[in-house]
Amino acid sequence: MATDAAHQRLRRGRLSFKASRAHQAAIDDARCYDGQVSEHAVRTIPHDLKTVFLDRDGVLNEKMPEGRYVASWEDFHILPGVPEALARLNRIGLRVIVVSNQRGVALGLYTLADVEAMHAKFERLLQSEGARVDAFYVCPHDTNRCNCRKPLPGLFEQAVAQFPEISAATSVMIGDSLLDIEFGRRLGMATILIEGDMTRERRGAEEARALADWHFASLPQAVDGLGRGWSEAQTSSEP
């Protein structure tokens, strides 16, 4: 069984949170709408970086071929070096949040409970490697049915509702698709594209490369680059 802390993190991703009034101003500042993508990339790591947002499939685990979904733990193949990369982020004090579109739930291919079960097993494996994910947020809806399917901002709003200290200005988004990069860009985050398996590229790959602030082959390489950029940003901010 997953620990109580792991269950608490999983429950955070199950519900569509309504922000309290105390958090609404912060959410309003971060709200964005379809078609509004910032024309200017961030290009630098925030010197006060606090939160790393991660896509799931293609970043943490292998992405299935086009038209197929990660529907069970048997399909959930963790990519090389991922537990160690997450542990490094944990050690330097960064909050790690997974934001994932799971349209397969809406299509009836698997359930939200199946997603939670996969995440619980992933959490147990990470714990054995001295790593953790602080929260999972999942959109189980089909396209054009909600405000939480990336690149719309709903999953970010859920994170802010749960962790009111989160801001886009002190966050980075790491993903493997155009939707992920647009999600981060619209909110004003620094963005990192994981290029991953080039044989499983999807539409928008070239545009994602052009929009992303950086691109790397894998999450471990991105964490290497993030660590260097963060150290340099901290050094340059010192008086």
Measured at the alpha carbon of residue 168, what is the angle toward residues 211 and 33, in degrees to the nearest 5? Answer: 65
Give the domains, in start order, of the chain with CATH numbers.
Answer: 4-237 (3.40.50.1000)
> What distance in Å separates the CA atoms of residue 184 and residue 163, rounded to the nearest whole number?
17
**pLDDT for the residue 35:** 43
**pLDDT for the residue 177:** 95
If we measure between CA atoms, which residue out of 231, 226, 190 comes closest to residue 47?
A: 231
Catalytically annotated residues? 55, 57
| pLDDT (tens place) for every residue of the chain, 239 residues total | 444 554 444 444 443 333 333 333 333 433 333 444 444 455 678 889 999 999 999 999 999 998 899 999 999 999 999 999 999 999 999 999 999 999 999 999 999 999 999 999 999 999 999 999 999 999 999 999 999 999 999 999 999 999 999 999 999 999 999 999 999 999 999 999 999 776 666 678 899 999 999 999 999 999 999 877 665 644 454 55
**pLDDT for the residue 107:** 97
Please, are residues 214 and 193 in contact by the beta-carbon 8 Å criterion?
yes
**pLDDT for the residue 18:** 32
Q: Quick check: bond before 140 cis, omega within 30?
A: no
